[in-house]
């Protein structure tokens, strides 16, 4: 019996060491010697993109999120369709809505000029999300680096693992928990809806529901640009008050029943997340701090490191 226990301890120790090594390989100083200008180069590209179109900040944060939730943070989302790859771009949660691929390719191209074959597309996505946040008034954080790029994509997982705009609270909580993210992380990350826009067909049912969980005046305003039929792609800001500023107004809106998506308002609906929403609505500092921490945690989801994966030269294709 003692020898069986010893074997269990040895196996557990190896597993723990393996997990620790995986995370230890992500480091904020990863490119300090091999590509010291990488972060500055990426930031310049992202700043130019957001100065051209403020909404791009939301799109870049969402790209990182939609990448990490499918196979981990491995840039699988960026791969184009080929005879051997069924792209995640065509999965229902991404089709016609995820954007910013060209911005990431531009940043990659600039980095390749000075450090060819060194910086992964997965790391560029992570850095771009942080830079996008800071450029629209959101928090900053230290990005851990050293991810490598996948050689595969998963259209199937993109269909099943990404949270949806109609999900009930229980499904949102369990979906994030499956990725190692707490309920608090989920609510904080939902605050990224302080910026960006949504398409009419994603909130149509909500604004025509005459439900008790939506402010009547807010619903009426949103109906002007979202008729009951057609115009599916018409856009509306997720936050009417400060649509181009990453702040805690998103949570204040929920208190007024002005969450645009069902999956937004459900965070303040008598459930386990109510207290967190109220806290963030009252404290911009608490939201900013938790958002930064949750983004770091999300960036840790199943990275490819060491000899796993590759460094893609072009983000949309295998070398």
Q: Was 74 annotated as part of a binding site?
A: yes
Task: For residue 310, give the 3-state DSSP assignment.
Answer: strand
Catalytic annotation, pick one of 23, 64, 66, 155 = 66
Q: What is the pLDDT along the chain (319 residues), one digit of tens a residue?
A: 444 445 444 444 444 444 444 444 899 999 999 999 999 999 999 999 999 999 999 999 999 999 999 999 999 999 999 999 999 999 999 998 999 999 999 999 999 999 999 999 999 999 999 999 999 999 999 999 999 999 999 999 999 999 999 999 999 999 999 999 999 999 999 999 999 999 999 999 999 998 899 999 999 999 999 999 989 899 999 998 999 999 999 999 999 999 999 999 999 999 999 999 999 999 999 999 999 999 999 999 999 999 999 999 999 999 9
Q: Was 242 annotated as part of a binding site?
A: yes
Residue 236 phi/psi, 5-degree rounding, is -140, 145
CA proximity to 269, closest of 255, 248, 286, 287: 255
pLDDT of residue 25: 82
Rounded (10°) CA dihedral 21, 23, 27, 30: 60
Q: Was 72 annotated as part of a binding site?
A: yes
Strand ranges, E, within 81-223: 197-199
Task: For residue 149, give the 3-state DSSP assignment.
Answer: strand
Q: Was 119 annotated as part of a binding site?
A: no
User: What whole-number distance in Å separates Cα of residue 147 and Cα of residue 127?
Assistant: 11
Q: If you count them, how many residues does the chain have?
A: 319
pLDDT of residue 187: 98
Residues forming a β-bridge with 145: 27
Q: Was 76 annotated as part of a binding site?
A: yes
pLDDT of residue 8: 45
pLDDT of residue 172: 97
Q: Was 149 annotated as part of a binding site?
A: no
C-alpha distance from residue 75 to each of 218, 272, 285, 317 (Å): 37, 33, 31, 10
Quote the tokens at residue 277. 């929403």
Determine whether 66 is an active site residue: yes
* pTM for the structure as a whole: 0.91
């Amino acid at each position: 019996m003692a020898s069986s226990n010893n074997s269990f301890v040895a196996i557990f120790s190896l597993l723990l060491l393996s997990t620790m090594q995986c995370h230890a390989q992500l480091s904020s100083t990863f490119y300090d010697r091999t590509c010291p200008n990488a972060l500055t180069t990426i930031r310049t590209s992202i700043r130019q993109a957001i100065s051209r179109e403020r909404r791009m900040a939301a799109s870049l944060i969402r790209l990182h999120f939609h990448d990490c939730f499918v196979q981990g943070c491995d840039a699988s989302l960026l791969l184009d369709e080929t005879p051997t790859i069924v792209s995640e771009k065509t999965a229902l949660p991404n089709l016609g809505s995820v954007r910013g691929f060209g911005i990431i390719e531009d940043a990659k191209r600039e980095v390749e000029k000075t450090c060819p074959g060194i910086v992964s597309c997965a790391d560029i996505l992570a850095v771009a999300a942080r830079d996008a946040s800071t450029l629209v008034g959101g928090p900053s954080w230290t990005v851990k680096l050293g991810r490598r790029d996948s050689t595969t994509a998963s259209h199937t997982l993109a269909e099943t693992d990404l949270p949806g705009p109609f999900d009930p609270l229980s499904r949102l909580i369990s979906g994030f928990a499956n990725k190692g993210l707490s309920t608090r992380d989920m609510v904080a990350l939902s605050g990224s809806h302080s910026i960006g826009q949504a398409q009419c067909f994603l909130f149509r049912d909500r604004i025509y529901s005459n439900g008790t969980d939506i402010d009547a005046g807010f619903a009426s305003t949103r109906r002007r640009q979202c008729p009951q039929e057609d115009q599916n792609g018409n856009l509306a800001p997720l936050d009417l008050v400060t649509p181009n500023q990453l702040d805690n107004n998103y949570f204040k809106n929920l208190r007024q029943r002005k969450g645009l998506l069902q999956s937004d308002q459900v965070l303040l609906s008598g459930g386990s997340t109510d207290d967190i929403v109220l806290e963030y609505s009252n404290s911009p500092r608490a939201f900013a701090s938790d958002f930064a921490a949750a983004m770091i945690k999300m960036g840790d989801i199943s990275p490819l490191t060491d000899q796993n994966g590759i460094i893609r030269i072009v983000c949309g294709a295998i070398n």
